Amino acid sequence: MAKIYYKQDADLTHLQGKTVAIIGYGSQGHAHAQNLRDSGVKVIIGLRPGKSWDQAEQDGFDVFTVDEAAKRAQVIQILLPDELQKQVYEEQIKDHLNEGDALFFAHGFNIHFEQIIPPSNVDVVLAAPKGPGHLVRRVFVEGFGVPALIAVQQDATGKAKDLALAYAQGIGATRAGVLETTFKEETETDLFGEQAVLCGGVSELVKNGFQTLLEAGYQPEIAYFECMHELKLIVDLMYEKGLTGMRDSISNTAEYGDYVSGPRVIGDASRQAMKDVLTDIQNGTFAKKFIAENEQGRPWFAEKRKQEQSQELEQVGAKLREMMVWVESK
């Protein structure tokens, strides 16, 4: 079993006297910055002029260029989109790293796949909440926390893990539990989870279920409710009570059908595909493709996004959600 750290295992004083620069003020950035500030940590923000800059100022932060923020801080958390981190690091962060500084990440991609290679005299640390940024902030304000992973890739000061735990404390994660991992494990499992299950797997499951009903002549609105809308209710039950609890809540008919048909839909072929996806992640094939796609200006990515946005499932769903006043779309 993984060791889980809680409040009593962490000590915020490891961040005392230090300035934390949060680079980026998007989903993760705004949440880390505001939670740390509420925990009494000195936080500044590093950005380029634009929407996020204005928002961070409105929220009362001192905002600087990335260069200037990196210069002023001893702890630098890079919360930019993964595909931009290498360039921003090379051009605006690298030269401002002093001996004993700490470089933080919320995802291990750029360190694990050696896009960023920090000097050996700084700590390299991961502090990655296991949830979207808006939840990281909301749950903190409610007095709780979103669990997080920490990892130390490079311990130049001998204090990197203490610092990681202090940071996790500051963003509220030790209220929920903090697991120690490695950059390799976090990167590979995060990519696998989002590709095979959470994003890729679930989206395809929904799309194919919807399409199967449509092709058989059923009404799109009915297909939408069965294959997409109700997913949330099932996932909420799984989240709160596990598979067993979910199955307690559904009918015996549904539970029997679950056992009989689930393995027919996700069977040997899907298991083999999952293994292949994992192999591509582990041997760097996926990373290489993603990096190349970004270098070419993302032609395939942009086209794919357009196609996915215009499919019938999305059109039907948008109309139905408009009528469902209880569904908040924030």
List, as residue ranges, the binding site for substrate.
251
Question: Binds 257, which of Mg ion, ligand NDP, none (CB < 5 to 8 A, cut-off by type)?
Answer: none
**Between residues 30 and 130, which has the closer beta carbon with respect to Mg ion?**
130
Min CB(107)–ligand NDP separation in Å: 3
**Between residues 198 and 222, which has the closer beta carbon with respect to ligand NDP?**
198
Sequence-ordered alpha helix ranges (H) in the chain? 27-38, 51-58, 66-72, 82-88, 109-112, 133-141, 160-170, 183-192, 200-215, 220-224, 230-249, 252-265, 268-282, 285-295, 299-310, 312-323
Task: State CA 22 to chain mean position distance.
Answer: 16
Only one of the segments 84-92, 120-128, 159-167, 189-197 lies at the binding site for Mg ion (rule: CB under 5 A); that segment is 189-197
Min CB(317)–ligand NDP separation in Å: 22
Q: How many CB atoms lie within 10 A of CB 230?
A: 11
Q: Are 294 and 200 in contact (CB under 8 A)?
A: no
Question: Binds 287, which of ligand NDP, Mg ion, none (CB < 5 to 8 A, cut-off by type)?
Answer: none
Q: Are 121 and 99 in contact (CB under 8 A)?
A: yes
Question: Which residue's CB atom is positioned nearest to ligand NDP?
Answer: 26
Regarding 123 and contact with Mg ion (CB under 5 A), the answer is no
Distance between CA atoms of residues 240 and 17, nearest Å: 40
Contacts 24+ apart (CB under 8 A), 193-202: 195/277, 195/281, 195/286, 196/274, 196/277, 196/278, 202/231
Catalytic residue list contains 107: yes
Only one of the segments 7-15, 192-200, 291-299, 312-320 lies at the binding site for Mg ion (rule: CB under 5 A); that segment is 192-200
**Between residues 52 and 249, which has the closer beta carbon with respect to ligand NDP?**
52
Residues that bind ligand NDP (CB under 6 A): 24-29, 47-48, 50-52, 66, 79-82, 84, 88, 106-107, 128-129, 132-133
Task: State CA 123 to chain mean position distance.
Answer: 22
How far apart, in Å, do the first and last CA atoms of the chain sit? 37
Q: Which amino acid is at 268?
A: D
Min CB(13)–Mg ion separation in Å: 31
Question: Binds 299, which of ligand NDP, Mg ion, none (CB < 5 to 8 A, cut-off by type)?
Answer: none
Please identify which residue in 82, 101, 123, 190 interacts with Mg ion, judged by CB under 5 A. 190
Distance between CA atoms of residues 141 and 279, nearest Å: 40
Please report where in the chains the tokens 């920090």 appear, as a residue. Answer: 118
Catalytic hit among 30, 32, 107, 112? 107
Question: Binds 275, which of ligand NDP, Mg ion, none (CB < 5 to 8 A, cut-off by type)?
Answer: none
Min CB(149)–ligand NDP separation in Å: 9
Min CB(126)–ligand NDP separation in Å: 10
Q: Are 163 and 102 in contact (CB under 8 A)?
A: yes
Binding-site residue numbers are 25-28, 48, 52, 133, 190, 194, 226, 230, 251
**Between residues 82 and 101, which has the closer beta carbon with respect to Mg ion?**
82
Query: Which residues are near Mg ion by CB under 5 A?
Result: 190, 194
Q: Which residues are tagged catalytic? A: 107
